[in-house]
Amino acid sequence: MNLEEYKGVYVFAQQVDNEISSIAFELLGKAKDLAKDLNTDVTAVLIGSGVKGLADQLAEYGADKVIVVDDPELKDYRTEPYAHALASVINKYKPEIMLVGATAIGRDLGPRVSARVATGLTADCTVLEIGDFPLQAVPGQEQLHNQLLMTRPAFGGNTIATIACPYNRPQMATVRAGVMQKIDPIKGAKANVEEFNPGFTPDNKYVEILDIVKSVTETVDIMDAKILVSGGRGVGSPENFKILEDLAEVLGGTVSCSRAVVDSGWKPKDLQVGQTGKTVRPSVYFAIGISGAIQHVAGMEESDIIVAINKDADAPIFDVADYGVVGDLNKIVPKLTEALKAEIAAAK
């Protein structure tokens, strides 16, 4: 493998039902940074059936070039034809970096392709940067420059590892959704669009899709919720939980509560967080009007981000909160909901 032959940052531009997934734009945003550091350009690989028209969108989000693999076999995602398409693109165009979203598609496609083209793959990355490998020069070992350094959590988020793929190309990574930033779209931007079809001959690896069932959203178990808006006795009354529910709704989150709330009969037991309730670990935990007794904290301290709102500045909840706000929840929460609503609308 002549590593020098491999050039350019490539992104698998995932589409579902001929609609480009948000992750594709996020990857393009990151790819642009990496390409700048490497003094190269960004290529999106668009795979599907009747998807050519989507290329302009990819250009607007930063693709310099779009390779389109368009074939009826690629209508709905199936591992084999997609892996064949992407592996063929890699073999023909020889990218130095290949980014794939860590989605239910990407986490199936990525490993299959990496095994086919015989390279490494780092899963679920949260940070990507260009640097040296080894990070510090080691006597007797050549320090390689311009390597893709891929950082990812492991051990259930308890450890962080930075990984390189120094002797194989492309350097492949799947990237967690929602972590990388898309660029502000450049209206009217055009990319160099190239069509490529490696030929698709169904074999034993082509599975048959019998049915596609789109799911309807159900009520979320608080243990599965990504965002929890949790209220305590400080909320004041069962009726006043409405302001928490509004906040949760704006963020696509779920309402939970402390033991005091369950004991008062305001909320059912299955929403209780804490030692005698459920242990939760959402991305964001809002502790609103919760003092933070250890019995409560034991059930939520592993949350990624803890935002606490409490009028008592000495409340123990502030000992575990990342962002503590001392103040009246009745004044802050409704305004927060409105502000977030505006922010989210603006981002769309």
Partner 1 sequence: MKIVVCVKQVPDTAGGVKFNPDGTLDRGAMLTIMNPDDKAGLEAALRLKDQYGAEVTVVTMGLPKAEEVLREAMAMGADKGVLVTDRVLGGADTWATSTTLAGAIRNLEYDLIITGRQAIDGDTAQVGPQISEHLDIPVISYAQDIKIEGDSVVVERQYEDRYHVVKAKMPCLITALSELNEPRYMTPGGIFDAYKQEITVWGRADLKDVDDANLGLKGSPTKIAKASDKVRKGAGEKVSLDPDESVSYIVDKLKVKHVI
Partner 2 sequence: MDFTLSKEHEMARALFKEFAEKEVKPLAQEVDETEVFPRETVEKMAKLGFLGIPVPKEYGGQGCDPLTYAMCVEELSKVCGTTGVIVSAHTSLCCDPIMTYGTEEQKQKYLVPLAKGEKLGAFGLTEPGAGTDAQGQQTKAVLDGEEWVLNGSKCFITNGKEADVYVIFAITGTVEKRGRLQKEISAFIVEKGTPGFTFGTKEKKMGIRGSSTYELIFTDCRIPKENLLGQQGKGFNIAMHTLDGGRIGIASQALGLAEGALDNTIAYVKERKQFGRAIGAFQNTQFQLADMATKVEAAQLLVYKAAMAKATQKVYSVEAAKAKLYAAEVAMEVTTKAVQLHGGYGYIREYDVERMMRDAKITEIYEGTSEVQRMVISGALLK
Q: What is the rounded distance in angstroms from the CA atom of residue 152 to the CA atom of residue 239?
A: 43
Q: Of 23-31, 123-131, 291-299, 306-314, which part binds partner 2 (CB under 8 A)?
A: 291-299
Minimum CB distance to partner 2 smaller for 126 or for 295: 295
Give the nearest distance from C-beta 201 to partner 1 in angstroms: 14
Instruction: Please identify which residue in 294, 326, 339, 342 interacts with partner 2, judged by CB under 8 A.
Output: 294
Minimum CB distance to partner 1 smaller for 294 or for 326: 326
Give the nearest distance from C-beta 16 to partner 1 in angstroms: 8
The answer to whether 104 contacts partner 2 (rule: CB under 8 A) is: no
Task: Give the CA angle between residues 27, 148, 68 to the nearest 5°.
Answer: 40
Task: Give the CA angle between residues 48, 3, 182 to the nearest 5°.
Answer: 45
Q: Of 168-176, 229-237, 294-302, 334-342, which part binds partner 2 (CB under 8 A)?
A: 294-302
Instruction: Please identify which residue in 18, 192, 276, 283 interacts with partner 2, judged by CB under 8 A.
Output: 276
Neighbours of 155 (CB within 10 A): 8
Integer-rounded Cα radius of gyration of the chain: 24
Please provide the size of the chain in residues: 348
Q: Are 161 and 111 in contact (CB under 8 A)?
A: no
Half-sphere exposure of 243 (CA within 13 A, CB side): 20
Which helix (H) or strand (E) segment holds residue 54: the answer is none
Minimum CB distance to partner 2 smaller for 28 or for 261: 261
- Which of partner 2, partner 1, none does 276 bind, CB closer than 5 to 8 A by kind? partner 2
Give the nearest distance from C-beta 70 to partner 1 in angstroms: 21
Q: Are 45 and 69 in contact (CB under 8 A)?
A: yes
Give the nearest distance from C-beta 92 to partner 1 in angstroms: 19
Contacting positions for partner 2 (CB under 8 A): 276, 294-295, 298
